[in-house]
Amino acid sequence: MKTQHLVALLFASCATQEAATRPAEPTPAPVAPKVEPKWTADLTKPMPPGLEEGVMDLTADPCGDFYQYACGGWMAKTEIPADRSLYSRGFVSISDRNEEALKAILDEAAADKLPPGTPFAKQLGDAYVSCTDEAALEKALPEVKKFITQVTTFKNPTELAKVVATLHAAGYRPFFAVGSEQDHKNSTEVIAGLAQAGLGLPDRDFYLDETDRMKGIRADYLAHIEKMFTLTGDKPEVAKKTAEVVMALETRLAKASLSRVDRRDPDKVYNRVDRKGLKEKAGDFPWDVYFTALGMKGVEGINISSTPYFVELAAITKDTKADALKLYLGWVALRGSAAALPKAFQDETFAFASKAFTGAKEDRPRWKKCVAFVDGEIGEALGREFARRLFPEESRARTIAMVTALLGSFEKNLGTLSWMDEQTRQGALVKVRSMVGHNKIGYPDSWRDYTALKTDRKSFFNTTLETSRFEMARQLAKIGKPVDRGEWLMSPPTVNAYFEAQLNEIVFPAGILQPPFFNKDATDAVNFGSMGMVVGHEITHGFDDHGRRYDADGNLKDWWTETSGKNFVSRVGCVKTQYDGYTALEDLKVKGDLTLGENVADLGGLKLAHAAMADWYAKKPVAESLRYDPSQQFFLGFAQSWCTKVRPQQAKQRVTTDTHAPPYWRVNGPLSNSDAFKAAFQCSDTAKMVRAGEARCSVW
């Protein structure tokens, strides 16, 4: 037909008269576009346990849009709760269930009805009661204003350093953040860490980006600061001037800050100095006074996340008028205390966040905020009872078996990687074999001691100060001590998981080991697709563009040969290009460089988990005839755990700040590179869900 159309076009001019005198010929029938065959399931067979037919859209083509096929039914009928910026079948639905369980524990703690001998029941009850006492919050402004006065009363740089230390000790983060960290190049040593911080907006780009959206957010932020200060009693014209001063100072901090992409590069955030070196680089700030006031008088080893940032920070504290610094510190204290202030402050904070970032229609109920507070501040006291009630030993044992299978899958896969030479392969084997994970499933072996934490039920603001001071003191006490390899960075009820490069460990709290990520009643294939993929994802983080920079002992060290390193960079470049081509929302593109580590981990985790599942079933033949075979169950279990709806405001914020791709692309992106997925649903080479040739990405 293409040739015929071409001929007709070439002879159109000379055939005009002849065509006018002869009968018109019938118009050729249009040729229908080629239709890809659509794979369909046998609906007469039962659904595999752990999968839900109602979540799916069976009219969709799994080879055209697998996310729609797996999640379309859920997407059509699910409404985002009014107090949420997003809702997901996985993370958020589990969080909601866990939240209810935590509330029951805290209600018992508040009524002194926890089982006799429950550790730190008083601290749990005091923290929750003080937080939920909304009548007391209406009287809290004077004590907060007293604290603000305390940290804004100084006459010289020495006194400024002391009030900054006071704020840091109480959990606030003016100018920068302080804590303890393992030395990046000597992972057995704990040193002090100083990092850029101090911004009221989520990221430097919110101050520097000149798009209309960002300009609008900055205008709203100015109005928000002004409104908050008027609520404290300031006159409108005074509050307006305060907002302008604060914005100017924060903008200067933002200009000196590293981008989120730069902060993913361990070489750019590792700048170890001693006390003398810090003073030589950023000596305009009284560091000796600051460290002494914070209880770190003898500290020597210090990592600064960005030398230029701390040089500029010191200059800011020197050349900015004291009155401007006081206004900024007052704002840091005020915005950080909003949850402990009367409802008017919380309403204003919610209104600003809703318009600029979340799109939520209602503020979260107070009890939910308080559950989150207790979990965030004394999470191991709360998590101890949570794990006892909701995480049976059977679940822990099955997860350990899954982790073992996935680690074995990674080892087995290493032998198939033609782009990696033998020297680097052996280094990778050493690293994965030393990866810790078996003892960090569910909950810690040794629980944190909160005996020294002072609490009462009268003042929530005082509770926030005491819990923050307790945690800061705990963090700083680690400096100079042996690394505690048993420490957890998340509480047991947390719905998340992580890989820690400097400990070379993978960690899975009990909070995420709940349906649909882990379902004791689901088939093994479904669990491998949902939770197994998460395990594989975290293992792969040890070998993504960031994690690969650390050796088996957690040291920042190049253990790769030049050839393997170049091959790796080329392969992750393919992943970056793939995700750069995806649209997140409207005209906003996914940032392939910001999300690179997570995308590589998704791609590797999916491959490893599917291979581990296949090996698992090779030893355990399938007995029951179900609607989907194990491989199909695996991919559906994976996708159905990521079904998510996000409000536009939140989606836009995440494009700027989130290191993860949007959920839609976290499913369809890695699947489009998967040979196993293509085979499972019999997708053709030209199907939308199949990337072919040079467009196909493969790393691990």
- What tokens does 650 get? 């939140």
3-class DSSP state for residue 593?
Answer: coil
Q: Report whether 455 contacts 466 (CB < 8 A).
A: yes
Domains defined along the chain, listed by start: 53-95+391-449+480-695 (3.40.390.10), 157-338 (1.10.1380.10)
Q: How high is the pLDDT of residue 256?
A: 97
Q: What's the distance, CA 232 to chain centroid?
A: 34
Instruction: Report the relative pairing of strands 272-273 and 186-196 from DSSP bridges.
Output: unpaired
Q: Which helix (H) or strand (E) holds 645?
A: strand 644-646
Q: Which of 696, 697, 687 is nearest to 61 (CA)?
A: 687
List Cα–Cα distances, 96 to 50, 69, 361, 515, in angstroms.
19, 25, 18, 12
Q: How high is the pLDDT of residue 438?
A: 65
The three-state (H, E, C) secondary structure of 432-495, written as one string: HHCCECCCCEECCCCCCCCCCCCCCCCCHHHHHHHHHHHHHHHHHHCCCCECCCCCCCCCCCCC
* Number of other residues whose CB lies within 10 A of the CB of residue 444: 19
Q: Report whether 694 contacts 646 (CB < 8 A).
A: no
Between CA 421 and CA 414 the distance in angstroms is 10
Phi-psi region of 480 (alpha: psi -120 to 50; beta: other; left: phi over 0): left
Q: How high is the pLDDT of residue 621?
A: 75
Q: Which of 339, 345, 319, 334 is nearest to 174 (CA)?
A: 334
pLDDT digits (tens, 9 = 90+) for 684-695: 999 999 998 889
Q: What's the distance, CA 165 to chain centroid?
A: 28
Q: How high is the pLDDT of residue 20?
A: 30
Between CA 506 and CA 406 the distance in angstroms is 12
Q: How high is the pLDDT of residue 35?
A: 59
Q: Report whether 585 contacts 650 (CB < 8 A).
A: no
Tokens 């007052």 -> residue: 330
Between CA 174 and CA 573 the distance in angstroms is 37
Q: Which of 266, 282, 277 is nearest to 176 (CA)?
A: 282
- Residues of the chain short of pLDDT 50, as ranges, are 1-32
3-class DSSP state for residue 589?
Answer: strand
The pTM for the full model equals 0.90
Between CA 157 and CA 160 the distance in angstroms is 5
Q: How high is the pLDDT of residue 437?
A: 67
* Number of other residues whose CB lies within 10 A of the CB of residue 403: 24
Q: Report whether 514 contacts 97 (CB < 8 A).
A: yes
Q: How high is the pLDDT of residue 122?
A: 97
Q: Report whether 239 contacts 692 (CB < 8 A).
A: no
Tokens 């007293």 -> residue: 146
Q: Which of 168, 222, 231 is nearest to 198 (CA)?
A: 168
